[in-house]
Structures are given as C-alpha cells and as structure tokens.
C-alpha cells in the first residue's frame, strides 16, 4: 500500500461463500506485472479460493455521456463510485475524468481515463470491494488485495470517518431505499433485511431456525 503502510493481513474478513472476482485490464496490457496478477487470480480459481474469475478489458479512455459508445464501462465506473461513496473512500485516482477540446468544433468533452488494472469483488451479486482505492492518504492496491485473496481471506476496504452512516437510504444489495424500524433495516425493492453495525455499515440478518417451544397442559 502507498501512503500510510498497513499489512493486508491486518485488514481481512472471512471469505464469503460465493466470491466472484472481476479483473479489468487495459487491452492489450497483459504484461508484467499485470500478467502475474492475472495468473495469480487464475490459480485462485483453480484452487477453489474464489468461486469464479471474470476477465474483462477496457480502453484507456472512454467518452462520458449518454451517447457514449462505451456505456458498459461507464456503468461499471458508476457502480464502483457508488460503492466508494458508501465506504467513504475514493477511486479517483486510479480513475480520472479529463476535459478535452475538439479541434474541429471547439466543444469541451469529458473523458474517463481507466486504470491499467482494477479488481472488483462480489459476494453473489453484491459488490463488496473495488481495488485500488484510497482514503486519508492510504491506498489499498490491487497487489495487496490479490495477496490477501491468495491466503483464502477477503480484503477489508479502507474506511474513514466520512463513510456514509447507517440510516442512509441505500440498500447494500441493490441500492434501493431502506426503511427502518425496531433496529432493523429493510429494502422496499429487493426485500433485503439487516442491521447496522457500529462502524455504520449494514449487515444482513442471518436466517435463524425457529425455536420450538413445548406447551404443557396442566390438568386439574
């Protein structure tokens, strides 16, 4: 990690049951050290450390706007930024938004510059981490995240005091609106139910087996 150093082993969570890793690289950038990172993730998939590995490529720059031909890349960026906002961290950099002026029309155009490599972790369909990201001068790199995954553990994202507090209207499962009552939070869209942890993040309510009670009949 850059900035303030912190070992990956000191910031890990237990591995989810259905861990999918999506690895995005600039094409054709499968050179060292990026190729080594990809090979390590492939080894993790073969060994069963992760459930599945998705390899995707993206261009160095894409045009922002609804008429962009690279809408899929922009949708991933928007998903990643939404996650970063909830965590109170930043993915800028490695992502950058730059302005360019057309030499023909003189119009300003914003373009998104993608990182050489980025890794996104999903527990089922829920995004749980984007690497690299930074907070308070500290960066959690792709290399650190992959090293932690290699040990069979799940990297824990950085967090700051600016992380969105519990009670915000975003469901961790689908970003739908949450309603609260009696210490529980429920999503009106997907039906997710959970509680708020002390650090302000949401945690799904584990299903509990119903407790059978024995009714005694008192005879008179």
Other Cβ atoms within 10 Å of 206 Cβ, number: 7
Percent of the chain with pLDDT over 70: 74
Residue 206 has pLDDT above 60, yes or no: no
Distance CA 166, CA 168 (A): 6
- Is the pLDDT higher at 122 or at 212? 122
Residues in the chain: 220
- pTM above 0.75? no
Nearest CA among 191, 153, 196, 155 for reference residue 173: 191
The 10s digit of each residue's pLDDT in 91-116 is 999 999 998 777 777 777 899 999 99
Helix extents (H) in 95-179:
142-150
- Across the chain, what does the average pLDDT equal? 79
- Is the pLDDT higher at 170 or at 38? 38
Nearest CA among 191, 220, 219 for reference residue 207: 191
End-to-end CA distance of the chain: 74
Distance CA 33, CA 57 (A): 16
The 10s digit of each residue's pLDDT in 139-198 is 999 999 999 999 988 898 997 544 444 445 577 767 677 877 666 788 877 777 888 765
Max distance between CA atoms of the chain, in angstroms, equals 99
Going by pLDDT thresholds of 50, 70 and 90, the confidence category of residue 207 is very low
């Amino acid at each position: 990690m850059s900035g303030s150093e912190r070992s990956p082993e000191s910031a890990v969570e237990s591995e989810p049951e259905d861990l999918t890793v999506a690895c995005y690289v600039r094409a054709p950038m499968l050179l060292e050290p990026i190729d080594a990172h990809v090979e390590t993730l492939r080894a993790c998939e073969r060994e069963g450390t992760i459930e599945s590995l998705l390899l995707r490529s993206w261009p160095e720059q894409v045009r922002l706007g609804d008429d962009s031909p690279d809408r899929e890349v922009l949708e991933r960026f928007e998903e990643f930024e939404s996650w970063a906002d909830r965590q109170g961290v930043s993915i800028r950099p490695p992502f950058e938004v730059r302005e360019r002026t057309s030499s023909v029309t003189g119009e300003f155009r914003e373009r998104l510059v993608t990182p050489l490599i980025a890794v996104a972790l999903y527990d089922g369909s829920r995004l749980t981490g984007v690497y690299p990201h930074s907070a308070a001068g500290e960066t959690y790199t792709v290399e650190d995240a992959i090293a932690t995954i290699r040990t069979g553990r799940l990297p824990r994202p950085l967090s700051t005091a600016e992380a969105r507090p519990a009670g915000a209207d975003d469901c961790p499962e689908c970003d739908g609106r949450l309603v609260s009552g009696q210490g529980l939070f429920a999503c009106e869209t997907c039906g997710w139910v959970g509680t708020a942890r002390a650090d302000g993040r949401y945690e799904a309510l584990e299903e509990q087996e119903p407790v059978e009670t024995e009714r005694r009949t008192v005879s008179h």
